[in-house]
Amino acid sequence: MSRLLQDSSTVALKEVRELTRDPVSLALTIMFPILLVTIFVAIVSSFSATSYDIPVVIADLDGSASSSRLLDGLTASPDIKVTQIFYDDGQAIRAVESGEAVGAIIIPKGFEETLLSGREAYIIVQTDNSKTLTPLLVYSAAITKTRELTSDYGNQLQGGAASLEVISRPISGRPLSGDPILPGMLGMITILGAFDDAVNAITRERERGTFPRLILTPVNVFSIYAGKMFATLLLNGARTTLMIIIFALTGLVIRGNILMVYLTTSLMAMFTLAVGLTLSSRIRSSSTLTILEIALTFPLFQLAGSFSSPEFLAPGGKAISKMLPWTYGNIALRKIIYLGLGLEAVSSHLLILSISTIILLPIATVLSKRTM
């Protein structure tokens, strides 16, 4: 074990020295993913998508004809899907906090009496604002259906129109709009940067003719890969630090532990590098691997929920999204940054990333030996 750690440290030190010899290349290595993702966000943000399957629960505490009419309207909404109806608001809120639903719409007791009396009635929309875009659609659906209900009742009331307010109570510190993609942007930069590190780590070294020489040394192949992974973690730490500074400058408050942010991006980078190392064992040209990197990463941003919620995807896309470890990394980042949750809340997501890396890295090592 000590020999393995020593060899890995030697390779990692070699990687760092090579990077520091070319400051311009080092700066581009750190900045390139950020610049590329910024361009990507600018392009994609000009497009919009419509969802017909956003899971929402409803708590009907009034049980009146008016609440039933509102419930029927919400059930027929093209923007949301009512998955459960409760008669206790605690159950509805727990469904949102557990991730079973994006939002809970609570119809309070006395809803019909207040509405028909001409006083201002209200409903409560409790949303998980750690998710991207979907909470806004839940709120908009509630606004639309309450307006339809008050319009219907307005003609029946004596002395004026009915008044109905929608009160938003998010479970995160993020408003319904604003800063929806910053954690996902951090995830995108982590993925793109680690893929680029894979190109630098193996393929370009093969083209320079230094990789075969490294293999001929007494250093174990696994130690070589582990050393390169350590170097990637250092670069990823620099990128994450830069993004946290950008977050602070844009006014985003990270509610969770910053060390948890570093842990999550590190695990995402390690898994991405493991994927890149596996691909590089079969692809020897850096230009080919770079093209494949771009071809793979940009669809991954959509499928892994980096820019928009997987809820916007078709059923096939949702199935793919659930199979991608990056998806769980993005979910963990949003829970840490927006909800301030700790290790216990995101441990299952981080475990998926860790196990995936542990499985892939030995595969990359074996494939690399077979292609010497």
Under a CB-based contact definition with an 8 Å cutoff, are residues 264 and 329 in contact?
A: yes
Mean pLDDT of the chain: 78
- Give CA–CA dist 283/292, Å, rounded: 10
* Domains annotated on the chain, with CATH: 2-47+179-370 (no CATH), 54-168 (3.40.1710.10)
- Give CA–CA dist 287/293, Å, rounded: 10
How is residue 245 annotated by DSSP? H
Give mean pLDDT, residues 5-34: 72
Res 171: pLDDT: 77
Give mean pLDDT, residues 199-214: 66
Please tell me whether residue 173 adopts helix, strand or coil conformation: coil
How is residue 179 annotated by DSSP? S
Percentage helix, strand, coil for the chain under 3-state DSSP, each rounded to 5: 65, 10, 25
Please write the tens of the pLDDT for every residue from 269-301: 889 888 877 877 666 666 666 666 776 777 777
Res 208: pLDDT: 67
Partner residues linked to 81 by β-bridges: 55
Please write the tens of the pLDDT for every residue from 29-82: 677 677 666 665 654 554 444 445 788 999 999 989 888 988 898 888 888 889
pTM for the predicted model, two decimal places: 0.66
Please write the tens of the pLDDT for every residue from 177-204: 545 567 778 888 888 788 777 666 666 6
